[in-house]
Structure 1
Amino acid sequence: MSDTVYLLEMIGIVAFAISGMIVARSKNMDPVGVFTIGFITALGGGTLRDLIMDNHPVYWIRHEEQPILILAMAIVFSYWNRAGRMRESRIVLPDAIGLGVFSILGAQLALDLGHSWFIASLLGVMTGTFGGALRDTLCNEVPYIFRKDQIYASISFAGCWIYFVCQWYFHNETISLTVGLLFITVVRMLAVRFDIRLQRDSMQP
């Protein structure tokens, strides 16, 4: 794995772990709960991807520095008083970053293993959304991916295809990764800011 991809992987892990730990603290979980939610949010999507593609051992087992980092973050979040006062709305930015990073990296890995663009895009969406879905489910919230509000999974899907097209056109991995990641992150933030949805209730203006 190139240094750039590894750096993006670590950024995604930190971003998703932060989003999970903010939600866990808002639910008054103890340090074990904070670590568990952070771990599942950060690594759940990649674990599902590896299991589906029969990629063993799963990625984080081969890179133990990742769960160790999440454990260190959980300790800080558990005993940092300000973290307990963070609102759940604060997870939007780290969640958007994590969605972008893991969607594109999941799609990239699927392509490297010889899968088609369509299958790779589905695996990218799974990688980017599954950890957050587990986070919300365990915290008794409706997962973003199932909410009838701002677009989420569809942004991940579109971003994967933008990555594929850039890869085909530019033949440059760095450009393709950057464009795909930025598209997903920025569009997700804009969707939240401007309440962009795929469908609105008939009674809603």
Structure 2
Amino acid sequence: MFDIVYLLEMTGIVAFAISGMLVARAKNMDPVGVFTIGFITAMGGGTLRDLILDNHPVYWIQHQELPMLILVLAIVFSYWQRAGRLPTSKIVLPDAIGLGVFSILGAQLALDLGHSWFIASLLGVMTGTFGGALRDTLCNEVPSIFRKDQIYASISFAGCWVYFLCQWLLENEALALTIGLLFIVIVRMAAVRFDIRLQRDPTQG
């Protein structure tokens, strides 16, 4: 199980870091800015989770290879000319993957520490959304979690409950993790593709 969780952590960190770096390049930031935005996007949610749960040292301090990997990615994105021409719409897939991975793993850690499903789901949402919210705020954008034209945090919340139910019904942790993750990624991508919202502006047709 450790290997699966670590692989998922790596996947989520790379996905979120790339989403942050794409936005940073679109904002014409220098290499320091690209690294900073990528790092905060990838590590912000997990750091908040660990601080709330009093889980020390925080994850990226325990695993120094992860910030080193983000640094390498930042150098590549800073000096790879094509990256600067990629539209910000390209962040949707890596952002969805990061949202799914960190939501489920955040909820899993809370369960492992003895918290209820409800508290674990809230911590999963915090883990999955906080890094992206910091990214958008620092890049002078309204965070996705607060936009009326986005379904974001609610997908994370629902995905955590899909994970809990699968874990309870199937009694297979790896399968439950996979189903919860895929649910969040697929629903998030479908929501963007088909413009699915929780609430629409009544002034719009």
Instruction: Give the secondary-structure state (helix, strand or coil) at the position aligned to 1:202.
Output: coil
Hey, what does 2:19 align to over in structure 1?
A: 19
For residues 131-179 of structure 1, give each alpha carbon's deviation from its aligned partner in whole angstroms, at most 9, with x where no partner exists.
0000000000000000001210000000000000000111101110000
Hey, what does 1:85 align to over in structure 2?
A: 85
Instruction: Give the secondary-structure state (helix, strand or coil) at the position aligned to 1:180.
Output: helix
5 Å-filtered alignment, 1:97-108, equals: 97-108=97-108
Looking at structure 2, the residues matched to 183 and 138 of structure 1 have their Cα atoms a distance apart, in angstroms, of 29
Looking at structure 1, the residues matched to 146 and 9 of structure 2 have their Cα atoms a distance apart, in angstroms, of 25
Hey, what does 1:159 align to over in structure 2?
A: 159
Hey, what does 1:195 align to over in structure 2?
A: 195
Instruction: Give the secondary-structure state (helix, strand or coil) at the position aligned to 2:199.
Output: coil
Aligned AA for 1:122? Answer: L
Hey, what does 2:115 align to over in structure 1?
A: 115
Looking at structure 2, the residues matched to 84 and 78 of structure 1 have their Cα atoms a distance apart, in angstroms, of 8
Looking at structure 1, the residues matched to 150 and 21 of structure 2 have their Cα atoms a distance apart, in angstroms, of 22
5+ residue gaps, structure 1, are none
Looking at structure 1, the residues matched to 105 and 169 of structure 2 have their Cα atoms a distance apart, in angstroms, of 18
Instruction: Give the secondary-structure state (helix, strand or coil) at the position aligned to 2:186.
Output: helix
Looking at structure 1, the residues matched to 150 and 53 of structure 2 have their Cα atoms a distance apart, in angstroms, of 30
Pairwise CA distance, 1:88: 0.6
Pairwise CA distance, 1:204: 1.7
Pairwise CA distance, 1:38: 0.2
Give the paired residue count: 205
Hey, what does 2:46 align to over in structure 1?
A: 46
For residues 96-148 of structure 1, give each alpha carbon's deviation from its aligned partner in whole angstroms, at most 9, with x where no partner exists.
00000000000000000000000000000000000000000000000000000
Pairwise CA distance, 1:190: 0.2
Instruction: Give the secondary-structure state (helix, strand or coil) at the position aligned to 1:142.
Output: coil
5 Å-filtered alignment, 1:174-193, equals: 174-193=174-193
Task: Give the TM-score normalised by the residue count of structure 1.
Answer: 0.99
Identity of aligned residues (%): 83
Hey, what does 1:70 align to over in structure 2?
A: 70
CA RMSD across the alignment: 0.6
5+ residue gaps, structure 2, are none
Instruction: Give the secondary-structure state (helix, strand or coil) at the position aligned to 2:140.
Output: coil
Q: Tell me which stretches of 4 or more aligned residues in structure 1 moved more than 4 Å.
A: none
